[in-house]
Amino acid sequence: MAYLKDERPETMMVEGDWQVGAYRWKAPRLLEEFSAGLKEKKIIGSMCMGCGKVITQPRHLCGRCHRRMDERCVLSDWGTITCFVISPKVEKGKYKLFGMDPVDTGTLKLGEILIPVFVRFDGADSNINCLLLNAKPEEVFIGMRVKVVWAKEPKGQMADLEGVEPIREK
Amino acid sequence: MEKKSGVIVVNGLPIVQAQFNWSVGFQMQNFLKALANKKFLASKCPECAYVYAPPRNTCSKCYKKMEEKDLVELSGKGMLAGWTTAYVELDGKGNFVDLKKPKLIAAVKLEGANSTLFMPLEDIDSKKLKVGMAVAIEWSPETKGGWKDIKYLRAV
Amino acid sequence: MFRNCAIIGCGQTKHTSRRRDVSVAELAQQAVQAALDDAGITMKDVGCVVSGNMQGFGGVAQPEQWLGDWIGCPGKPAIRIATGGTTGGSVGQGACYTVASGMYDVSIGVAWEKHSDSKEAGATTGLMHVGMGNLFHALTYGLSLRNLIATSAVGAAAGVAVYQAMFYMHRSGCKQEHLDMVAAKARRNAAKNQYAHLQWPNCRPEDIAKTETIAWPFRYGHVCPASDGASCIVVAEEKTAKRLCKQPAWFLGLASYSDEENQLQSENFGGVGVIDPSEQMGCRVSAKKAYAMAGITDPQKEIDLAEIYQPFPSQELIFSERLGLFDDGTAWRHMEKGETDINGRLPISVSGGVNATNAIGSSALQRILEAALQIQGKAGEHQVPKKVRKAVAHGWGGVTNYITCTVLGDSPR
Amino acid sequence: MEKRIAIIGYAQSRHQYDVQKTREDLVFDVAKEALANAGILREELGTVVTASTDFLDGRTISNVFLSMAVGAFLKDESKVEEDGAAALQYAMMKLMTGTYDVALVEAHTVGWQFNPHQVAAYTLDPLVDRQIGLLNDIAASAIQANMYMNKYGVSVEDLAAVSVKNLGNAANNEFAARRLPDVSVGEVLKSKLYYDPLRELMISQTADGCAVVIIASEDKVRKLGVECPVWIEGVGCCQEAYLRDRDLVSLSGLKSAAQSAYQMAGITNPFTDLDLAEVTERFAHEELLICEALGLAREGRAKELVNNGVTALGGDLPVNASGGALGADPICATGLVRVVECVRQIRGEAGTHQVPGVKRALAHGQFGLCAQKNTVLILGGE
């Protein structure tokens, strides 16, 4: 295989864009059910009558059985951490969301450490990705039992599930 | 209870867009830079003599490489091969916008080149257009070495 | 009938973060020309062109329509295959199928990616665009921005691979220092590969350990770069291959099985029934099928070399187990002993792999290409000292649910 | 062909702009229906090949969330970023190697998501045509139409006659999106003008749609005891050079693709050997160009076929009895819909637009500006 040596100096460039934000999509009304459940502090999952798997957030197709998942069930708000990640301390200019710095917009606090976790709620065969609250980074472990931290006034939106916190024995 | 329609329409955020800056490669760079001097370059395949305008580094017919030495200068005049009158145009976000004044788009074979170029055509009534008509490049008053240097094509 | 076919020519470009000297068309052309030269044929001998990249990263839709002129498409059957990260692997397999089916005698498979054409680093908008529909959907239901950033942006560089690594480490006992070792090995190997991107001669795990942590357990030193580059293979049927090439690399087995989405989300923000993304059922099945096709019963003994798609070091360990090269949960122990080094018992990713060079669309094709080079004995400085008879090339893509697995050998089936 | 491949099952969605279904549902329903049509279970599938593109679907890796819906869970899966007919060809190659014996081919596009003509503009040469910023697929095809009309003295009424024929045919096809039974040449010529001479009714109707075809190798067909398999007798595909360096007036790529397909199927005179053709005409004039490239008419004379009713529903060689792409154009699926329509005709299941006694049909799929990439398939009954 011949090594190509004829590299040339950098050339100029021309610009262009792709308007990905101008697209639109179609979504089923499933998340509506899910967020309506959150208002009543319930986590709703969908169940496949073929293989018995319970998925949350609800999904309406089971690819394993290639059939619809029409049944719904309510899951426990207790669960187990199956995986976690510990972020370094939040700094300015490190993350970008739609071109804005979350520290400037106040979404994240300077210097805080985030612990995104995967939680498998009791009764589900899937994970939900959320934040671990009220816990120190060094005490997290896989298999930790946690419960949901609900928003003070659930409004029926995804943000009602603020995160999870460890279940502490008194 | 009234049954809602099956789907929810999810709109994107128009501020989100992906932006690109494509590097042009040496042949196109030669071409773009030469535009500043009101020169229109092309490249001639050393094997099959097909002339590509704008120039490129590979011949699509015989797959031979073309270097700087294969660059040729075109006269900037050409022949009309085809055209269309545009009554709408895309706004870049996927909408057709009606044009107040229709635009002419010409397919032109520049003198000495085999490629067909697609360029704006102005200063002529669309009813007078004929295949084989002579056209020429109208240069911008100020040429800086970019696509904007070519203002449009005009009938000779 | 599976007609025997082999790789008789390989070509790739130098990979760096900015190949601004060429346009994307010229970049792909360089790889094609190199492969044709290597095979000793001209474009006239080629029957079919299979190509692919990830179009969102280059900003040109269906780029083969435009740059087909540079890769030899005009006047020929041309198929564009794109399956995300596995694009290259699927292109390589596509080139094999076009010849193996008896439709064409010689095909080329070419894949490329030019990240520097995108204004954002690492084509983030393009990547985010995988889940953009889901994201906007969830935002209409009031997904908290804080959660969104925490779960996606924090891992932006590492993505979900970091969760996958956590699962693996938890169930196998592998430690962060083992990831350092894998990363150091990749950098070291890459230094011997003149085409590789991140080269670091004599890199030691301690050097990697000094780099900053981005999200525990990943450090900057673990993460793959975003490269510009292209690669191309020439595939020919048995007679042609034997005539043109002293040692062709024969296709023995190939499979590309897909699994359920592995990363939390399905279409429209639904959940998925995969708890552990390091489980990789798709890879298990692909490997089993490919080995069965190649007549391999004990991969641990019969495979001489593996090229694994490992943008993150944990993935080399996970997938080497899933490819049946080591028992479950033991890959890191073998790696620790140096068995997967360039002169080890079972060298893995001796080219430096994706961890050192990641031109996404082309990366998986490069794995096939590098495995072929080792079989042909043409790898140069990073040629393994032992004779390579059977090698496996792997690729993953999508949301880690797509796998390509290709087995190459030094003699036909 | 060494190993014969047959189509054993098919399904298509009801194409329309903005179908009230999610992309996942659209694909799932059609895949399910096709499996039922073939009379097999998902478990029997060997490989799955899909066709869609990232720019049209509005997702990078457009197939990634659809593997489960299409039935590819733990199946060999691949995606062709082309027309569905090309996907069928690729799946066929996979079966010809003997690695698998049943394949599912799926193609879809949700045209409602984003203007596909804008996407066509994104396919242009980023260094030249995208910088000039004038072209898109309609503009390029309008220039092509003008060139063709000037060269051969074809009038705009001749183009409108193609629209009238196809839109009328579409009215008989329950799956088509734009169904205009009594449209006249005058009405076509009064519809909104986009790029002269192309008017709204001469431009294909963008639609949401999905098509699925299930193919099997000969042994498997016998084993399954399929009653009326439709054999793929010939296939050919070819790409042409980019817009600037090709002859727009003659589709040389399609000629070459048709030649290889005819050779494979042993067709010497396509006009007499074929009973029906389903072609992808994104614009009215394209049908004329395509008919000429397929060897059904001499260069510049295809208008006679339309004007004399040869290609009409009751003619000697009906072209686009289903209404073609002018009737419904779910971009990536359009080529595969043509295949599905041919299969329906051969199996005698086409309903109101059934052409009697179809034994051999031609399906054509195209992709790219001005039919840059073409795939031709010859299908035949037993």
The residue of chain B nearest to residue C58, with distances taken between CA atoms, is B20
Give the residue numbers spanning the domain of B33. Answer: 25-155
In chain D, what is the straight-line distance between the N-terminal and C-terminal CA atoms, in Å? 16
pLDDT in tens, chain C (413 residues): 799 999 999 999 999 988 999 999 999 999 999 999 999 999 999 999 999 999 888 899 999 999 999 999 999 999 999 998 899 999 999 999 999 999 999 999 999 999 999 887 766 677 777 777 788 888 888 887 777 777 665 554 456 788 899 999 999 999 999 999 999 999 999 999 999 999 999 999 999 999 988 888 889 899 889 899 999 999 999 999 999 999 999 999 999 999 998 876 778 788 888 889 999 999 999 999 999 999 999 999 999 999 999 999 999 999 999 999 999 999 999 999 999 999 999 999 999 999 999 999 999 999 999 999 999 999 999 999 999 999 999 999 888 889 999 999 999 98
pLDDT tens digits, one per residue of B81-114: 999 999 999 998 899 999 999 999 999 999 999 9
Backbone angles phi, psi at D75, to 5 degrees: -125, 155
Residues C182 and C204 sit within 8 Å (Cβ to Cβ): no
| H or E stretch covering A117 | strand A116-121
How many Cβ atoms sit within 10 Å of the Cβ of residue D23? Answer: 29
Give the residue numbers spanning the domain of C365. Answer: 5-119+227-409
pLDDT of residue C243: 96
How many Cβ atoms sit within 10 Å of the Cβ of residue C336? Answer: 15
A9 touches chain C (CB under 8 A): yes
Q: What's the one-letter identity of residue D263?
A: Q
pLDDT of residue C127: 72
Residue B17 counted as domain residue:
no
Q: What's the one-letter identity of residue C331?
A: A
Determine the distance in angstroms separating the CA of A103 from the nearest CA of chain D, rounded to an integer. 28
Q: Return the structure tokens found at A93.
A: 């200019």
Q: Return the structure tokens found at B74.
A: 């075109």
Residues for chain B: how many in total? 156
Tell me the Cα Rg of chain A: 22
Residue B11 counted as domain residue:
no
Specify whether the backbone of D70 is left (phi greater than 0), alpha (psi in -120 to 50) or beta. alpha
CA-based nearest residue to D343, from D326, D321, D328, D373 = D321
Q: Which CATH number fits the domain that encloses residue C244?
A: 3.40.47.10
Query: Per-residue confidence at B20, pLDDT binned at 50, 70, 90?
Result: very high
Q: What is the largest CA-CA distance in chain B?
A: 77
CA-based nearest residue to A17, from C124, C117, D56, B90 = C117
Closest CB from C33, C125, C136 relative to B11? C136
Beta bridge pairs of residue A80: A120, A145
Closest CB from B28, B61, B87 relative to D127? B28
State the average pLDDT over residues D165-189: 94
Residue B2 counted as domain residue:
no
User: How many domains does chain B contain in total?
Assistant: 1
pLDDT of residue C200: 93
pLDDT of residue D275: 96
State the average pLDDT over residues D134-152: 95
3-state secondary structure at position C14: coil
In chain B, what is the straight-line distance between the N-terminal and C-terminal CA atoms, in Å? 71
Residue B13 counted as domain residue:
no
Looking at every residue in chain D, the average pLDDT score rounds to 94
Distance CA A27, CA C266 (A): 12
pLDDT tens digits, one per residue of D271-307: 999 999 999 999 999 999 999 999 999 999 999 999 9
Which residues of chain D does A17 touch, with a Cβ-Cβ cutoff of 8 Å? Answer: none
Which residues of chain B does D140 touch, with a Cβ-Cβ cutoff of 8 Å? Answer: 118
Range of lowest pLDDT (A100-109, A120-129, B96-105, C81-90): A100-109
Interface contacts (B, C; CB < 8 Å):
76
B94 touches chain C (CB under 8 A): no
The residue of chain C nearest to residue D94, with distances taken between CA atoms, is C97
Structure-token match 């641990």, residue found: C300
Interface contacts (A, D; CB < 8 Å):
56
Distance of CA C262 to the CA centre of its chain: 18
Distance CA D103, CA D350 (A): 23
pLDDT of residue A98: 65
Angle at D177 between CA D171 and CA D183, to 5 degrees: 40
Specify whether the backbone of A134 is left (phi greater than 0), alpha (psi in -120 to 50) or beta. left
Distance CA B133, CA B125 (A): 13
Structure-token match 């520290």, residue found: A103
Residue A125 counted as domain residue:
yes
Distance CA D343, CA D212 (A): 12
Which residues of chain C does B65 touch, with a Cβ-Cβ cutoff of 8 Å? Answer: 33
pLDDT tens digits, one per residue of A1-46: 555 555 678 899 999 999 988 999 998 888 888 999 999 999 999 9
Looking at every residue in chain A, the average pLDDT score rounds to 88
Distance CA C10, CA C35 (A): 4
pLDDT of residue A4: 53
3-state secondary structure at position C330: coil
Predicted model pTM: 0.96
Give the residue numbers spanning the domain of A146. Answer: 28-166
List all residues 6 or more positions away from A89 whose beta carbon is below 8 Å from its beta carbon: A111, A112, A113
CA distances from D262 to D230, D280, D295, D346, D377 (A): 17, 18, 10, 18, 9
- Look at C269 and A27 and tell me if their CB atoms are within 8 Å: yes
Q: Return the structure tokens found at C372.
A: 């072929």
Q: From edge to edge, which strands make up the β-sheet containing B71-74?
A: B51-52, B40-44, B71-74
Q: Return the structure tokens found at B26.
A: 């040496």
- Look at B6 and A19 and tell me if their CB atoms are within 8 Å: no
Distance of CA D274 to the CA centre of its chain: 17
pLDDT of residue A70: 87
Distance CA B151, CA B147 (A): 9
Backbone angles phi, psi at C406, to 5 degrees: -125, 130
Tell me the Cα Rg of chain C: 20
Residue A94 counted as domain residue:
yes
Residue B104 counted as domain residue:
yes
Query: From chain D, which residues contact B within 8 Å (Cβ)?
Result: 20-22, 25, 58, 114-115, 117-118, 121, 126-129, 131-132, 134-136, 139-140, 142-147, 150-151, 193-198, 241-245, 248
- Look at C74 and B61 and tell me if their CB atoms are within 8 Å: yes
Burial label for A92, CB within 10 Å (0-12, 13-18, 19+), is exposed
Determine the distance in angstroms separating the CA of D256 from the nearest CA of chain C, rounded to an integer. 8
Do the bridges between strand B116-122 and strand B150-155 make them parallel or antiparallel, or are there none, so unpaired?
parallel
Closest CB from A126, A142, A158 relative to C141? A158
Determine the distance in angstroms separating the CA of B88 from the nearest CA of chain D, rounded to an integer. 6
CA-based nearest residue to D327, from D287, D379, D300 = D287
Query: Per-residue confidence at B34, pLDDT binned at 50, 70, 90?
Result: very high
User: How many domains does chain C contain in total?
Assistant: 1
Angle at C186 between CA C393 and CA D64, to 5 degrees: 50
Q: Which ranges of chain A does DSSP label H, i.e. alpha helix?
A: 30-39
The residue of chain D nearest to residue B89, with distances taken between CA atoms, is D134
State the average pLDDT over residues B128-144: 93
CA dihedral D262, D268, D274, D280 (to 10 degrees): 40
Q: What's the one-letter identity of residue C125?
A: T
State the average pLDDT over residues B117-135: 92
pLDDT of residue B2: 39
State the average pLDDT over residues A76-92: 89
- Look at B12 and C120 and tell me if their CB atoms are within 8 Å: no
User: How many domains does chain A contain in total?
Assistant: 1
Which residues of chain C does D245 touch, with a Cβ-Cβ cutoff of 8 Å? Answer: 69, 74
Distance CA A24, CA C262 (A): 25
Distance CA C115, CA C226 (A): 6
User: Domains in chain D, ordered, with CATH?
Assistant: 5-115+206-224 (3.40.47.10)
Residues D68 and A102 sit within 8 Å (Cβ to Cβ): no
What is the three-state SS of chain D? CCCCEEEEEEEECCCECCCCCCHHHHHHHHHHHHHHHHCCCHHHCCEEEEECCHHHHCCCCCCCCCHHHHCCECEEEEEECCCHHHHHHHHHHHHHCCCCCEEEEEEEEECCCCCHHHHHHHCCCCCCHHHHCCCCHHHHHHHHHHHHHHHHCCCHHHHHHHHHHHHHHHHCCCCCCCCCCCCCHHHHHHCCEEECCEEHHHECCECEEEEEEEEEEHHHHHHHCCCCCEEEEEEEEEECCCHHHCCCCCCHHHHHHHHHHHHHHCCCCHHHHCCEEECCCCEHHHHHHHHHHCCCCCCCCHHHHHHCCCCCCCCCCCECCCCHHHHCECHHHHHHHHHHHHHHHHCCCCHHHCCCCCCEEEEEEEECCCCCEEEEEEEECC
Beta bridge pairs of residue A68: A61
Strands (E), C132-269: 213-215, 218-219, 228-237, 249-255, 257-258
Residue A122 counted as domain residue:
yes
